[in-house]
Chains A and B, each alone.
Chain A
Amino acid sequence: MIDIENLRFSYPKQTDDTIKGINFSIKEGEIYGFLGPSGAGKSTTQKIITRLVNGFQGKVWIMGKDLKNWNNDYYNHIGVGFELPNHYAKLTGLENLKLFASLYDKFPQNLMGLLEQVGLAEAAHQKTQDYSKGMKMRLNFVRALIHDPDILFFDEPTTGLDPVNARNIKNIIKDLKQQGKTIFLTTHNMYDADELCDRVAFITEGLIKAEDAPKALKLKYGKPLLNVEYEDSDLKSVEFDLKNLGQNQEFMKIIKKQRIISMHTREASLDEVFVKITGENLTNIEE
C-alpha cells in the first residue's frame, strides 16, 4: 500500500536534511509503527506522505501509484489523524465532523456513531472551544475516519489521553486493522507500539535504525531476565540472564543462602531494545 524509497527532505531555510534517506514499505492491512524520540522526523514523514509539505527527494508510492501522480482524489483514500488538536472552535464537535465529511466524495459514515465510539456523544453539540485537550484529541482521531478511508495515519493518537480513553483508542485501532485498513502509526510510546504494531521502525535523527516485528526485535536484541528480590539485612533486587542460569555462581549462592522474597522472569522491553540499537533513550523524552 505504501512504498517509500530513499526519502530525503529538508525544511525550507534549513541546511541539514530532516529526513536523511529512509526506505520502508507497508503492506495492506498492516499496522506499521514509527517509533522514535522527539524531533526524530516522525511527523515530518507523515506530512510528506500526506502531502502537507512538498519538495522531497526519493520515491513515494501509494496504492501502487506515484504520489506525484495522484490528484486530490488521493484524500478520499487516506485519513489523517493530526498530532495536535485542530478544530473550528466556534462549531460543535458534530458540526466539525459534518463540515469535513461534506468535502469527501463518499457519503459520510454515521458521524454520531463515531463520536459515540470515543465517548463524545454527550459533547456532540458542545462547541469545541469548550472541549478539554483529551476530548479534542479524541475528536481528531475520529475525524480521520469520517470517509472510511483505506489508509490511516495516526500521529501519536493516545498522547494526552487518560488510560481508559487511551485503551479505547487502541481497541478501535485494532478493530480498524480487523476491517482490513492499512495503518501508519507514529508514537514515542513503546507500549503502544509493542501492542499494536505488526512491525515497527526505530527512527532517530531522520534515519531508520532498525525495522521488524516487535517480538522479533526483542528476541534478537533483548535477553529475557530473571529478577530476584531477597532479604539480606535489607531488601535487595538483582537481575540475571536466563541463559545458563544453573551455572551462574552468584545466583546459586543467593538462592542457597538468602531468604527469597520474589522471583520472576522479565522479557526485554522494546524500550531497552531501542536504547541498545540507537544509543538513545525513549522514556525520558516522554512527558
Chain B
Amino acid sequence: MRSFANIIKWDLILIYKYGIVAVAFAISGIYSISLLLANTEGMEKLVAALIFSDPVMYGFLFTAIMILFEKDAQTHQVLAVTPLSINKYLWSKAFTFTLLAFVCSTIILLSASPNEFHPLLFLVAVSFSSILFVFIGIIGVSFVNNFNQFILLMPIVLAPVCLPFLDYFNIVESWVFYLIPTQACLLLFTASISTIEIWQLIYSIVYLIICNWACYKLAVRLYKKRILKTSRDE
C-alpha cells in the first residue's frame, strides 16, 4: 500500500514536470472563459459534452504521452524490477489522471454555473470516464512506438468512441449507440447537471463498470506483452 501511495505521488510530480498539468489547465481555462462569456441557459447538453470531452482528453492523450516518455527513457524495465506490481502501476496512472480530470472539469463546471448540480453523480461521471480513457490510452499506446504513430492512431480509436454524440444531439437515433461506452459517459454527465431516466442511469453505471474492468484487464495484458516484454534495449 505504501508503494502505491508513493507511485501516485511520483506520477503527480511527473505530470507536473512533463508540463501536462500546465497544458490541462490551459485547456480548461479556455473552455471556462468561453463558457463564462456565452449564455449557457438551456444548454445543459452542450456543457455536459464539453466537460465530458475534458477527462477523455486527459485520460487518453496524456496517458499516451506519459507512457511514450517513459518508453523513450526505458524506465518501464526499472519499475519492473521493483516490488511495484503492474496493476498498481496502471491504477496509479488512472488515479493521477482522474484527479487531474476532476480538478479541471470542476473548474469548467463552475464557470458554466448550471441550474442543477448533483455532486455525487458528477464524481461518478468524471471517475468512470477518466478511468476508461486512461486504460484505452494504455491499450492504444501499446501499439505504437512514437508520438507520430499515436497521432495517426487517434482518429481510428476516437471515431467510434464519438459516434454516440450523433444520438446525443438528436442527429441519428439508434439503440446501437448504447453498446458504445461513451454513450454511458455522456448520460452520466447529463445526469450530473440535469435529469435522465432511471434505467439510463442504471445502464450507464453498470455498463461503465463492465467496460472499465474489461479495458483494465486488456491494458494489463498489453502492457506486459507489448510495452514491457518486447522493449528491446538497443
Q: Residues on A close to B: CB < 8 A?
A: 12, 43, 50-54, 72-76, 78, 80, 82-84, 86-91, 95, 99-100, 102-105, 143
Contact = CB atoms under 8 A, between A and B. Distances in A.
Contacts of A91: 13-14, 17
B78 A82 contact: yes
Contacts of B233: 43, 82-84
Contact size range, B:
20 to 34
A52 B227 CA distance: 11
Nearest to A143: B78
Contacts, number: 76
Contact of B79 (A74, A90, A103): A103
B84 A88 contact: no
4 closest cross-chain pairs (CB), A and B: A86-B74, A102-B6, A103-B82, A90-B17
A86 B14 contact: no
B7 interface: yes
B18 A104 contact: no
Interface string B1-24: 011001101100110011000000
B10 A102 contact: yes
Contacts of B6: 102-103
| Interface core residue of A50, A76, A99 (most chain B CB under 10 Å) | A99
A82 B74 CA distance: 10
A103 B83 contact: yes
B21 to A, nearest CB: 12
Given A53-B229, A83-B233, A103-B3, A90 B83 contact: no
A96 B74 CA distance: 13
Contacts of B14: 88, 90-91
B92 to A, nearest CB: 11
A285 to B, nearest CB: 15
A12 B73 contact: no
Nearest to A78: B81
Interface string B51-79: 00000000000000000011001110111
A100 B83 contact: no
Contact of A80 (B13, B18, B81, B234): B81
A73 B7 CA distance: 17
Contact of B77 (A73, A86, A95, A104): A86
Contacts of B69: 89
Contacts of B39: none
B81 A88 contact: no
13 contacts: A53-B229, A73-B83, A83-B233, A84-B233, A87-B73, A89-B73, A90-B14, A91-B17, A99-B10, A100-B79, A103-B6, A104-B82, A104-B83
Contact of A103 (B7, B13, B70): B7
Contacts of B82: 75, 100, 103-104
Given A83-B233, A84-B233, A90 B18 contact: yes
Contacts of A105: 3, 83
Contacts of A102: 2-3, 6-7, 9-10
B3 A87 contact: no
Contact of A12 (B3, B17, B74, B230): B230
A100 B77 CA distance: 12
B61 to A, nearest CB: 18
B80 A103 contact: no
B3 to A, nearest CB: 5
A105 B82 CA distance: 10
